[in-house]
Amino acid sequence: MKPPFAVESHFKQKFEQDMPDDQWLAIVGARRWVVLSHDAKFHKESAELCAVVQHKIGCFYLWGAQMPTWHKIAHLTAIYPKISKIANSEKRPYIYRANQQNRLFLVRHWDGRKEPKRHVGASGAVPASGP
């Protein structure tokens, strides 16, 4: 089975394991890739946050960092349509967080929004509040 998008990883791209995040984020931004990560820190650390903004990164923090691989794949498969919709329609930079119920919540956006934009959850209902 082939996913409906190109999958790139730091191994395939020969990014060194110890390469600073702001360096590989610059490459990702130049290629207009979207970041999917279990490492929910880019909005907290200044070099990474500057790289997200400067290179107009679209970033999604995925749920399940400590879960078995199969659960991670199931989560990504379930939430992919929502990620794709945002990635193809919203102006970058932005950072969203996915929760266990396959809902996306805005962590940070640089378009002047004051209130987080909520997206349709797994049930089809728009969440009334954050997680």
42 touches 59 (CB < 8 A): yes
Q: Peptide bond preceding 127: is omega within 30 degrees of 0, i.e. cis?
A: no
pTM: 0.76
**Sole residue written with tokens 């931004």:** 29
pLDDT tens, per residue, the chain with 131 residues: 555 666 665 555 667 888 888 888 999 899 999 999 988 887 777 888 888 999 999 999 999 989 999 999 999 999 999 999 999 999 999 999 999 999 999 888 876 655 455 554 544 443 433 43
* Contact indicator for 45, 25 with CB cutoff of 8 Å: no
DSSP 118: B
